[in-house]
Every structure is written in structure tokens, then in C-alpha cells.
């Protein structure tokens, strides 16, 4: 586990006093999965072991998003080994964002964390997310690009694009968060409800939720996380398909920030 203390940003909303924050009872892990038969056994086993070792009450909601391989069969077999596993199938239109939204609407936890099926996200970081949420934060965002964070085998071109996109998000929204596009983030359920409606159908959901949460006044903090490239299968994010979609979502939330006159802002 990374030992650096989490850093809260000066542009975050005021932290609620822990005594006034509702205690959390269940952590729902939302994992979208499309053709991930090779990755899921190790990802889910390690996640369950880490949560159990640290006494994190949890459910693991894996959303099969129209897989054409044996993903669903693998999930059914894993249920015997992982009692907290809840596989579901996305019965609507497919897409990364749609799968996450489907999972969020079908989970039971009063806090949620979005993770990837390929074990690129570290389960130990998810445990720390849970601990920070229980300190009273509404949202916990991880960053791979602050002191204590790390990436392993990150494709150079994707890394360059990532840094450029996140730079413009920081400037446009006036925030210090430098890894907004990463999906691996945790929220109290009240935040997800307060960010409805979620409209992004693809990977642009990864920026819609945190930016809405910030703009709508929920408290947030940032901690360093570790990311590792997948060992099996192919990455689902296609950069050439996502540019205009990311721009649309950022523009949509930016207009809310500067022109809604605080109509959607969280009241404390």
C-alpha cells in the first residue's frame, strides 16, 4: 500500500465533519466487462481477497456488456469461489459508459468504486478509497501522476494524449486534479444520485461523473494510485473514436459550471 498521505486540493469543496457524514455499510465494486474471460479470474480473486483481508464489506458487480467469448460462463463458475460476486448482463444498449451506468443502477452499496476488468487498478488502492470515504469525503479520486503514484507499461502515445487532455480539463475547470480521465474513482451513492442523469454512453463517462461531482459541490480528495497495463486481451479504449465524445461531455459540464447559476449545486 502506498504510504503517502492523501492530498486534498484547495479547490475541493469543504470537507464534511466525520460526525455528520452517514456511516457506510457496503462498498459496491462496478466492473464493466466485454470479452474479458482471461482477465477476470485473477482480477476478481485478488480483489475479493484484499477486501476480505481488510474487512471491507463489499459486493462485486460485474456487468457483462455483450461479450462474445466465455466471459459469462467464467463469471458463473467464479460465483462458487467468490460469494460476494454478483454478475449481471447489460440488457440495454452496449458501451463502456452504459455498462457502468447499468451497474450503478443495479448495485446495493451506499458507496461505489469503478474498476477495470483487466486488473490494471490496484485492489489495495480501492481499500484506501473505502477508508477515505469513511472519513467523510463524498468522492475519492486517484491520480497516477502525483507523488507516490505510478504507471507500468503505459503506451507512450496514449500517455501523451492523456497528459494533453487532462491539462486542458484542469485549465478549463480551474481544478488541480490531473487525472480526471481515469475511471478508477470512488463515490458515496448520494453523489451518483446527485449527478443524474448520466448521459455519456462510452469512455467519456469517466470524465462526466467526477466533473459533475466537482461542479455540483461535493467534497473530494486525491490520493496516489498505481496502474498496470493489461496482461490479456485488447484495450477497449480507441483514441480516434473518443476525441469528440470527450469534448462534448467536457463542454456540457463546463456550461453547467459557468451558466447554470448553481441550480444543481449540492447544498450543505
Looking at residue 238, its pLDDT comes to 53
Does residue 12 fall inside a structural domain?
Answer: no
Backbone angles phi, psi at 234, to 5 degrees: -115, 145
Least confident piece of the model among 12-21, 27-36, 182-191? 12-21
Give kind and range of the element (H or E) at residue 186. Answer: strand 185-188
- Is residue 188 pLDDT above 90, yes or no? yes
Does residue 6 fall inside a structural domain?
Answer: no
Q: Spell out the residues 6+ positions from residue 208 whose beta carbon is closer than 8 angstroms to its own.
A: 97, 195, 198, 199, 200, 249, 252, 253
Q: What is the pLDDT of residues 225-257, one digit of tens each?
A: 999 986 765 655 555 556 788 999 999 999 999
Does residue 49 fall inside a structural domain?
Answer: yes
pLDDT band (50, 70, 90) for residue 170:
very high
Does residue 77 fall inside a structural domain?
Answer: yes
Does residue 16 fall inside a structural domain?
Answer: no
Does residue 267 fall inside a structural domain?
Answer: no
**Domain that includes residue 145, residue range:** 27-259
pTM of the entire structure?
A: 0.88
Q: Cβ distance 226 to 2 under 8 Å?
A: yes
Does residue 225 fall inside a structural domain?
Answer: yes
Does residue 4 fall inside a structural domain?
Answer: no
The tally of CA atoms less than 13 A away on the side-chain side of residue 28 is: 24
Q: Beta strands 27-33 and 58-64: pairing type?
A: parallel
Q: Is 44 helix (H, G, I), strand (E, B) or coil?
A: helix
| CATH at residue 202 | 3.90.550.10
Number of domains in the chain: 1
Which letter, b or e, does each residue of 176-186 get, where b requires 16 or more Cβ atoms within 10 Å of its Cβ?
ebbbbbbbbbb
Amino acid at each position: 500500500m502506498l504510504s503517502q498521505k492523501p492530498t486534498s486540493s484547495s479547490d475541493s469543496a469543504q470537507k464534511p465533519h466525520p460526525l455528520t457524514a452517514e456511516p457506510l455499510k457496503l462498498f459496491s465494486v462496478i466492473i464493466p466487462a466485454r470479452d474479458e474471460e482471461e482477465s477476470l479470474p485473477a482480477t476478481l480473486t485478488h480483489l475479493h481477497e484484499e477486501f476480505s483481508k481488510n474487512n471491507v464489506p463489499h459486493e462485486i458487480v460485474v456487468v457483462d456488456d455483450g461479450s462474445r467469448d466465455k466471459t459469462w460462463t467464467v463469471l458463473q463458475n467464479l460465483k462458487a469461489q467468490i460469494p460476494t460476486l454478483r454478475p449481471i448482463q447489460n440488457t440495454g444498449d452496449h458501451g463502456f459508459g452504459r455498462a457502468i451506468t447499468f451497474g450503478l443502477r443495479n448495485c446495493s452499496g451506499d458507496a461505489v468504486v469503478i474498476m477495470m476488468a483487466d486488473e490494471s487498478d490496484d485492489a489495495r488502492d480501492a481499500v484506501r478509497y473505502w477508508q477515505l470515504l469513511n472519513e467523510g469525503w463524498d468522492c475519492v479520486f486517484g491520480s497516477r501522476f502525483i507523488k507516490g503514484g505510478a504507471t507500468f507499461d503505459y503506451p507512450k502515445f496514449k500517455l501523451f494524449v492523456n497528459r494533453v487532455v487532462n491539462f486542458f480539463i484542469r485549465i478549463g475547470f480551474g481544478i488541480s486534479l490531473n487525472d480526471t480521465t481515469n475511471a478508477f474513482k470512488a463515490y458515496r451513492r448520494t453523489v451518483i444520485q446527485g449527478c443524474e442523469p448520466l448521459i455519456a454512453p462510452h469512455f467519456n463517462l469517466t470524465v462526466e461523473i467526477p466533473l459533475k461531482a466537482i461542479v455540483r459541490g461535493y467534497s473530494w480528495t486525491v490520493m496516489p494510485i498505481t496502474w498496470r497495463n493489461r496482461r490479456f486481451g485488447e484495450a477497449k479504449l480507441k483514441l480516434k473514436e473518443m476525441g469528440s465524445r470527450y469534448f462534448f461531455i467536457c463542454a456540457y459540464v463546463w456550461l453547467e459550471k459557468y451558466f447554470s447559476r448553481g441550480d444543481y449545486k449540492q447544498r450543505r
